[in-house]
Amino acid sequence: MNSETNSKQALIGLNQTELECICSHLQEPSFRTEQLFTWLYKSSVNSFHEMRNFPNELRQRLHEQYCIHPLELIRVTGSTTESTRKFLFGLQTGEMVESVLMREKNRVTICISSQVGCVLDCLFCATASMGFQKNLSVGEIVDQFLQVRRESQSAITNIVFMGMGEPFLNYDKVIAAADLLNNENGIKFGAQRITISTVGIIPKIIRYTDEKHRYKLAVSLNGFSQESRLKTMSIARKYPLPELMNAIDDYTSNSRHPVTFEYVLMEGITDSIDDAYKLIKLLSGKRCKVNIIPYNEIGGDYHRPPEKVIKAFIAVMKSAPFPVTIRWSKGTDISAGCGQLAVLEKTP
């Protein structure tokens, strides 16, 4: 972004109350708030000059004092004919973040990031190599959707907060972003088609349950016991599996949605037949579904199991008393698969 844009406040990310303050500052009548909100989120304009029912003077004043987008689209990897495309965005503060658009049959999913980097030390995840740089603002989260939607050849059907970072360590901004995406006067994206993923930040799961949010919840499990989970996720030391399962049981008892467990198959760590049977035992009787994800390699110490091992694990999971799906990650050739997102270059 140029220095002029960097010095201006971006409007994407502001809710109706905050936009009302902008209109009041500009000494505009209150009805301008609804018009501005509609232009930003429903019409998704790129410039103030597209706001046709605004007087020229107002459009000019907005242009001089504000910008629309907090993100600049730097690069798109993958073509419009491919099932997966990766989007690299620059922030006004100089950092960069990635989003992924995935298409499978009639389902078009955007994977949104909530942080630049990640503070969690999950060594099998490429984002950990970045360290933690910052939480994204509401606008930086929502703008990923708006800009990717403009680039997509098909309507986006699902949003998952499963990109870079841990969403529940940026809880307030993530929930505010989801609320903006869901707002019926703006983007109007169905709550049942928005999923927020966490590694298991127990206090935030409890808060999420108490606040009765309508968005779906996914939890990265990657182990059938406290000991097995610690092999890949150091956060389990702070938030032990038994306590995590209690929090999830409370969530599913109070939510219209079951919880989705994400389970990554890593060679020699989480992929044995015995692991599969113990996973079924852990989750039997729970209101849940499970996504099995064969590991996407990032050049480290962890590896994807051989095909026959994956098939054997899946064969056992077919006997589970809960729904099980296999998530064959798209875009691994462009490092856009689950766990592969990382930006190690500097802003151009």
Supply the DSSP symbol for 5: H
Q: Which residue among the candidates 98, 140, 166, 262 is catalytic per the annotation? A: 98
> What's the angle, vertex CA 292, arms to CA 291 and CA 298, rounded to 5?
115
Tokens coding 264: 């990554």
68-102: buried (b, 16+ CB within 10 Å) or exposed (e) per residue?
A: bbbbbbbeebbeeeeebbbbbbbbbeebbbbbbbb
Question: Could you give the CA distance from residue 309 to residue 312 in angstroms, rounded to a whole number?
Answer: 5
CA distances from 104 to 110, 270, 298 (A): 12, 27, 23
* Contact in structure between 171 and 165 (CB atoms under 8 Å): no
50 in active site: no
Torsion of Cα atoms, 149 then 180 then 203 then 91, to 10°: 60
The two beta strands, 158-161 and 132-135, are unpaired
Rg (CA), the chain: 21
262 in active site: no
**Residues annotated as catalytic (active site), given as ranges:** 98, 338
